[in-house]
Structure 1
Amino acid sequence: MASDIKRQNRIRGKMKKYNPTGLRLTVFRSLKNIYAQVIDDAKNQTLVSASSVEKAMDKKKKMELSVEVGKLVAKRALEKGIKEVYFDRGRYKYHGRIKVLADCARKEGLKF
């Protein structure tokens, strides 16, 4: 668990240093669901969010949910005029459901 916290602190530290827009796409993954938010750190405000708990996403596999959440968060961000964000994977390694979500958000037009 300590290595998870170290990883999270390292990622957030780099983000503060190299993030010119102040916008970040943060991901939280639980055992059954996945959540994504675009956050404006300057205003401490969530601008866009999507999750696998929404009613349109029932009875799908976890990877399919990650694909849908990635597409949905990118679509909502582009509708609000957000084109470029910093990807904050938190304490999670960049593989599996996290990687699938990021790849789908990129395919929909979000840059990071």
Structure 2
Amino acid sequence: MISKVEKKVERDLKRKKRVRKDIFGLPDRPRVSVYKSNKYFYAQAIDDVRGITLSAVSSISKEHGKKLGDTTEDAKVLGKMMAEKLISKGITRIVFDRNFYMYHGVIKAFADTMRENGIQF
């Protein structure tokens, strides 16, 4: 018998595959992938052609100077930081990869803040 956790993992994997099948990051338009745990929020810009991470931010890093968690306010701070990092590297267009998360709450706050700071997607 399949447990609830196994069902959730299987469902999330199916959703992730469905989202990722049409998303691919290029050097001039990288894929920005997000991940959230129960405590922290992470995002990274990935060039899928070369298989490298171009830029990354997380609420666990000390770059922002204060302790951040996984709230929408923290996601806004991280969205601004990610936008600044990408613009400093000359990247203004991205492909947004929400993984298996629904587009609301923390994910939406992060994406909207990146748009407000000059990133197009």
**Could you tell me the TM-score, scaled by structure 2's length?**
0.83
From 18, 31, 42, the equivalent of 1:10 is: 18
Residue in 1 aligned with 2:85? 76
CA distance in 1, matches of 2:14, 2:69: 33
Report the structure number with the largest CA radius of gyration. 2
Structure 1, unpaired ranges of 5+: none
From 95, 104, 112, the equivalent of 2:104 is: 95
**How many angstroms does 1:4 deviate by?**
1.1
The reply on whether 1:38 has 2:51 as its aligned counterpart is no
Cα deviation, 1:50-87, whole Å, max 9, x if unaligned, reads 11112223156722111111110011000000111100
**How many angstroms does 1:23 deviate by?**
1.3
CA distance in 2, matches of 1:47, 1:36: 11
The reply on whether 1:26 has 2:33 as its aligned counterpart is yes
1:49–1:60 CA distance, 2 compared to 1 (3 A): closer
| Structure with larger RCO (C-alpha < 8 A, sep 6+) | 1
Hey, which bits of structure 1, 4+ residues long, moved more than 3 A? 19-22
Q: Tell me the percent identity.
A: 37
Q: CA RMSD in A?
A: 1.7
Residue in 2 aligned with 1:51? 58
CA distance in 2, matches of 1:85, 1:63: 21
Residue in 1 aligned with 2:3? none
The reply on whether 1:108 has 2:117 as its aligned counterpart is yes
AA partner of residue 89 (structure 1): R
**Maintained 8 Å contact 2:38/2:70:** no
